[in-house]
Amino acid sequence: MNIFFEGLAWVFDPAHYGGVDGIDTRILEHLRISLISLLIAAVIAVPLGYFIGHTGRGRTLAVAVSGGVRALPTLGLTIILALTLGIGLEAPIIAFVVLAIPSILAGAYAGFEAVDRRTIDAARAVGMTEWQIAGKVEIPLGLPLLMGGLRSASLQVIATATLADYVGGGGLGHFIFLGLQTNDYPQMLAGSIIVVALALLSEAIFSVLERLVVPAGVKSRAPTTVRTKSSRSRAVVG
């Protein structure tokens, strides 16, 4: 427990803030890397997932590719890309995009597939076009699963973004790798504590966002199966 309190003391030490290697600077770097990776992954995966979910085409291939991508070791991929592209942000961001795409893609097409086919048939019956069905029916109803995919991807990227500093990309991994080299275990633990705190903060933010963006009618409610009794007397009914 002493090492844990030493890690906390390292986090709250004012001497470790400010400057190029300050905690605040490294947190901003970490968030920037994570946000850029998530945005790029979402731009790629959400439209592709919507296309698969709406048309039903390519689902088997998407599942197979997503499963294969999940099996890729992110550290190994980052190092290979760094040897190819050079030291900096490009290699880790590409690796984190690859890491985030499967969860977002699965959330996007699963959200469309979860929509009751009878609802879509009814939308077509009233004359809606395919674009209207996607925009007014499938996207709103599929938002909970998409938000779940984004939440999972954000947690994975924030936790794994520590690897960016291994190839000169910066972020909170700086404290972990520097502490490992110098046997400064409180510094290592401090970096880990901050990453965990950011992951928990991301979870809370996505929980709030889900409440804000998901339409109230989509949120599950317990169905009422008991018919209400008539207010009229039996005599009147007779």
Q: What does the block give as tokens for 188? A: 């290592």
CATH 1.10.3720.10 is held by the domain 2-237: yes
How crowded is the C-beta side of 187, counted as CA atoms within 13 Å?
18
**pTM (predicted TM-score):** 0.83
Q: Which residues contact 18 (CB under 8 A, 6 or more apart)?
A: 24, 25
Residue spans of the chain under pLDDT 50:
221-238
Task: Give pLDDT, residue 1.
Answer: 59
Contact (Cβ atoms closer than 8 angstroms) between residue 128 and residue 157: no
Task: Give pLDDT, residue 233.
Answer: 42
Task: Give pLDDT, residue 45.
Answer: 93
Contact (Cβ atoms closer than 8 angstroms) between residue 202 and residue 218: no
Q: What is the pLDDT of residues 88-146, one digit of tens each?
A: 889 999 999 999 999 999 999 888 888 888 888 888 888 888 888 888 888 888 888 89
Contact (Cβ atoms closer than 8 angstroms) between residue 178 and residue 36: no
Residue 73 per-residue DSSP state: -
Task: Give pLDDT, residue 65.
Answer: 81
